[in-house]
């Protein structure tokens, strides 16, 4: 009788510990939700820890570099998503660029965290709801100089973007945006949505170069079937497009030229090199 009681006492904890381990090993759906949950939990936890520290220098773009260094480790070690930046001197240059990045999923932020310590001084624009509904991360982003916009008011959003670029130019701060405006990822399809003109209009107005950045297609991601597996992901930094001497009549051409270059790079086949990660064939 006593042995049966002891057996029953251990049975509960054994199931609680063993079941998630078995599910994680056998179910891609369970792994997907586990990794996504860990991702958002990490963002909130790191932000909560850093907010009291960075609050002493609010709206400073250097604040994001601190969190980025921590999240890089979490991305690689905990989530198994290893980002590799293609060397390019422009990303680290102390100069204002309008950095445009393709947008596939919310985990793109992990790619930005890989870039931030290299970029140094960089701000970004985000939808206003992120400030109010993303918990500690929204406040951390605000303290790090992120500018929040109401995407439903296109005129206001364009004006805020243009003003942000002009002010950033005074301090050689880079400005980063997702020109597609929304997420776009389909397994097996390497494509881009049409680019919105606002970033290119602002770059021409401020006479700052466009610096295209392409995050390689997430081959290990399938949100429809709830799959997210460890992967090596390449970040391509392309050559900049100059805007000096251009006026508003060149916006569409600059926008299309940038998209074409990014789409070409996105569709370039990759192979894995054990020493340096993913590289173009």
Question: Residue 227 domain-assigned?
Answer: yes
Q: What is the pLDDT, as a whole number, of residue 13? A: 67
Angle, in degrees to the nearest 10, between helices 28-54 and 63-73: 150
Cα angle 130-135-138, degrees, rounded to a multiple of 5: 40
Q: Please check whether residue 249 lies inside any domain of the structure.
A: yes
Q: What range does the domain containing 63 cover?
A: 27-280
Q: Which of 104, 137, 32 is nearest to 266 (CA)?
A: 104
Is residue 130, in this structure, part of any structural domain at all? yes
Other beta carbons within 10 angstroms of residue 30's beta carbon come to 16
List, for residues 82-101, the tens digit of each pLDDT value.
999 998 999 999 999 999 99
Q: Are 52 and 81 in contact (CB under 8 A)?
A: no
Could you give the number of structural domains in the chain?
1
Q: Is residue 276 part of a domain?
A: yes
Check: CB of residue 118 under 8 Å from CB of residue 92: yes
Q: In the prediction, which pLDDT does 23 show?
A: 80
Please check whether residue 119 lies inside any domain of the structure: yes
Of all helices (H) and strands (E), which one includes residue 17? helix 2-26
C-alpha triplet 232, 237, 239: angle, nearest 5°: 155
pLDDT at 27: 92
The β-bridge partners of 123 are 175
What pLDDT is recorded for position 221? 97
DSSP three-state, residue 247: coil
- Which pLDDT value is given to residue 158? 93
Beta carbons of 114 and 69 less than 8 angstroms apart: no
CATH number for the domain that contains residue 58: 3.40.1130
Q: Is residue 14 in some structural domain?
A: no
pLDDT for position 211: 98
The predicted structure's pLDDT at residue 12: 62
Residue 24's pLDDT is 77
Q: Is residue 62 part of a domain?
A: yes
Mean pLDDT, consecutive 10-residue stretches, the chain (281 aa), reads 54 64 85 95 96 95 94 92 94 97 97 96 93 92 94 91 97 97 94 97 98 97 96 97 97 98 93 46 30
Q: For residue 10, is it within any domain?
A: no
- Contact between 124 and 177 under an 8 Å Cβ cutoff? The reply is yes
């Amino acid at each position: 009788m006593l042995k049966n009681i002891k057996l029953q006492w251990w049975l509960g904890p054994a199931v609680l510990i063993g079941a998630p381990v078995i599910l994680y090993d056998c179910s891609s759906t369970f792994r997907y939700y586990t990794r996504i949950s860990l991702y958002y939990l990490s963002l909130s936890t790191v932000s909560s820890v850093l907010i009291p520290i960075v609050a002493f220098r609010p709206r400073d773009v250097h604040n994001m570099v601190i969190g980025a260094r921590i999240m890089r480790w979490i991305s690689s070690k905990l989530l198994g998503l290893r980002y590799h930046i293609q060397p390019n001197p422009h990303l680290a240059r102390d100069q204002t660029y309008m950095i445009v990045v393709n947008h596939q999923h919310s985990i793109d932020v992990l790619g930005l965290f890989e870039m931030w310590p290299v970029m140094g001084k960089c701000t970004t624009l985000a939808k206003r709801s992120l400030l109010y509904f993303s918990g500690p991360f929204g406040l951390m982003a605000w303290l790090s100089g992120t500018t929040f916009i109401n995407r439903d008011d296109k005129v206001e959003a364009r004006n805020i973007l243009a003003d942000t670029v002009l002010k950033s130019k005074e301090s050689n701060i880079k400005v980063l945006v997702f020109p597609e405006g929304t997420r776009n990822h389909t397994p097996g399809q390497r494509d881009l949505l049409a680019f919105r003109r606002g970033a290119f209009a602002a770059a021409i107005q401020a006479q700052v170069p466009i610096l295209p950045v392409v995050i390689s297609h997430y081959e290990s991601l399938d949100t429809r079937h709830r799959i997210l597996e460890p992967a090596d992901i390449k970040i391509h930094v392309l050559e900049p497009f100059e805007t000096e001497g251009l006026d508003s009549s060149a916006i569409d051409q600059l926008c299309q030229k940038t998209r074409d270059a990014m789409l070409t790079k996105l569709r370039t086949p990759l192979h894995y090199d054990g020493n340096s990660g993913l590289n173009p064939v």
